[in-house]
């Protein structure tokens, strides 16, 4: 069997396993869930061409994965229905389409009651501010996502002065800006995030994976650096608790319930949102939804509902808050 065929078959089998367990099961929580981190993509490259140059594990592997196990609405909705997810964010997947947002926008237009779109744009493109305004009106996007690694000086282009026009546009529209800085410069980026949160008070900033805390490095604060901790004073900054982060906490051999209790203590349940990372994380997703719910079992019902539904619905507003 050729390597590509073997890889595609393996990925398809893994996806089928992770999405089929629990079929016909009851919802996992006594309240509806809001998934803030779902990646949609299809295996129709003639209609939606791949641009997988930015895929973490390489374009060939990403394309094989998408062709073998596309994350279409019927696939994702089947899983959402199994575990009790009412709606969620369709987060543009950089690994398959880069800044070509057509697929997620088309699916959100087709299923507006279930998919709230979050797009990716080039942060310093002169057209991006106007594009945000058009997409907020025509496509009812809730926000824009910026991700990438720092330059050799430790600076991120989406946090730079050159990106301020798109931040100003998002601020005017009341859109969310989702941030996923990558690499060793993440802790230093948190200070800049705090500065921008103060400057653009009408932007709700959401930090993917809670800003990648490293509990193995800073066990007393479960990985939160002083600049992570300082963000708690910025009430327009929110923190996304995800399957990917749960995987990393498990790898660090840290108790997940203690980790989450600490995060709630620092930031408040009303500033945490949750996402499955479906379409990216290659694990038994139902199991990880259960991990997430179990990690909050010591909280009050109102706090748990805030993390898994209420805050996300308040923050991710289709069309922006104006």
pLDDT, tens digit (0-9, with 9 covering 90-100), for 131-188: 999 999 999 999 999 999 999 999 999 999 999 999 999 999 999 999 999 999 999 9
Going by pLDDT thresholds of 50, 70 and 90, the confidence category of residue 26 is confident
pLDDT score for 19: 54
**pLDDT for 71 beyond 80:** yes
Calculate the CA dihedral of residues 149, 52, 72, 120 and round it to 10 degrees: 40
- In angstroms, the CA 194 to CA 2 distance is 49
Residue whose C-alpha is closest to residue 221's, from 181, 258, 196: 258
In DSSP terms, which residues pair with 91 in a beta bridge?
A: 118
pLDDT, tens digit (0-9, with 9 covering 90-100), for 219-245: 999 999 999 999 999 999 999 999 999
Concatenated DSSP letters of 287-310: HHHHHHHHTTTTS-HHHHHIIIII
pLDDT, tens digit (0-9, with 9 covering 90-100), for 80-107: 999 999 999 999 999 999 999 999 999 9
- In angstroms, the CA 41 to CA 104 distance is 7
The residue to which tokens 């279409």 are assigned: 72
SS3 of 178, please? strand
Least confident of 12-16, 45-49, 159-163: 12-16
User: What totals of helices (H) and strands (E) does the chain contain, helices first?
Assistant: 14, 8
Q: How many residues belong to the chain?
A: 322
**pLDDT for 3 beyond 80:** no
SS3 of 238, please? strand
Return all residues near 117 (Cβ < 8 A) that are at least 6 apart. Answer: 89, 90, 92, 101, 104, 105, 108, 139, 140, 141, 142, 318
- Count of CB atoms situated within 10 Å of the CB of 112: 13
pLDDT, tens digit (0-9, with 9 covering 90-100), for 236-286: 999 999 999 999 999 999 999 999 999 999 999 999 999 999 999 999 999
List, in sequence order, the alpha helices (H) in the chain.
3-20, 59-68, 73-83, 94-97, 102-110, 128-138, 164-173, 186-199, 226-230, 243-251, 256-267, 285-294, 301-305, 311-315
Pair 111, 81: CB distance under 8 Å: no
- Calculate the alpha carbon distances from 179 to 139, 145, 165, 290 in Å: 21, 6, 16, 25
Q: Does domain 27-315 have CATH number 3.20.20.370?
A: no
pLDDT score for 46: 97
pLDDT score for 27: 86
pLDDT, tens digit (0-9, with 9 covering 90-100), for 288-300: 999 999 999 999 9
- In angstroms, the CA 197 to CA 231 distance is 9
Long-range (24+ apart) CB contacts under 8 A made by 7-12 are 7/61, 7/64, 7/65, 8/64, 8/65, 8/67, 8/68, 9/68, 11/64, 11/65, 11/68, 11/69, 11/282, 12/68, 12/69
pLDDT score for 57: 81
pTM over 0.85: yes
- Calculate the alpha carbon distances from 162 to 7, 146, 167 in Å: 40, 14, 10
- In angstroms, the CA 289 to CA 33 distance is 10
Average pLDDT for the chain = 93
Find the distance separating the first CA and the last CA of the chain, reported in whole Å.
Answer: 55
Return all residues near 3 (Cβ < 8 A) that are at least 6 apart. Answer: none
């Amino acid at each position: 069997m050729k390597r590509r065929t073997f890889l595609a078959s393996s990925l398809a089998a893994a996806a089928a396993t992770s999405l089929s367990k629990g079929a016909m099961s009851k919802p996992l929580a006594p309240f509806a869930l809001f998934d803030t981190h779902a990646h949609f993509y299809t295996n129709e490259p003639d209609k939606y061409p791949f641009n997988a140059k930015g895929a973490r594990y390489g374009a060939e592997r990403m394309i094989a994965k998408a062709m073998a196990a596309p994350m279409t609405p019927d696939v994702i909705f089947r899983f959402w229905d199994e575990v009790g997810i009412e709606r969620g964010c369709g987060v543009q997947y950089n690994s398959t389409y880069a800044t070509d947002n057509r697929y997620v926008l088309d699916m959100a237009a087709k299923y507006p009651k279930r998919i709230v779109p979050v797009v990716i744009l080039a942060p310093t493109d002169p057209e991006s501010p106007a594009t945000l305004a058009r997409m907020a009106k025509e496509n009812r996007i809730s926000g824009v996502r910026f991700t990438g690694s720092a330059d050799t000086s430790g600076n991120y282009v989406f946090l730079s002065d050159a990106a301020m026009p798109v931040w100003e546009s998002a601020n005017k529209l009341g859109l969310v800006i989702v941030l996923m800085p990558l690499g060793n410069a993440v802790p230093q980026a948190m200070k800049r995030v705090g500065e921008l949160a103060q400057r653009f008070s009408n932007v709700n900033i959401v930090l993917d994976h809670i800003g990648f805390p490293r509990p193995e490095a800073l066990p007393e604060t479960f990985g939160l650096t002083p600049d992570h901790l300082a963000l708690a004073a910025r009430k327009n900054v929110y923190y996304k608790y995800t399957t990917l982060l749960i995987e990393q906490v498990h790898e660090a051999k840290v108790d997940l319930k203690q980790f989450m209790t600490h995060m709630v203590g620092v930031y408040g349940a009303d500033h945490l949102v949750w996402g499955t990372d479906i379409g990216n994380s290659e694990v038994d997703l139902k199991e990880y939804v259960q991990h997430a719910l179990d990690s909050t079992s010591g909280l009050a019902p109102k706090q748990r509902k805030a993390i898994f539904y209420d805050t996300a619905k308040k923050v991710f507003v289709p069309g922006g808050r104006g």
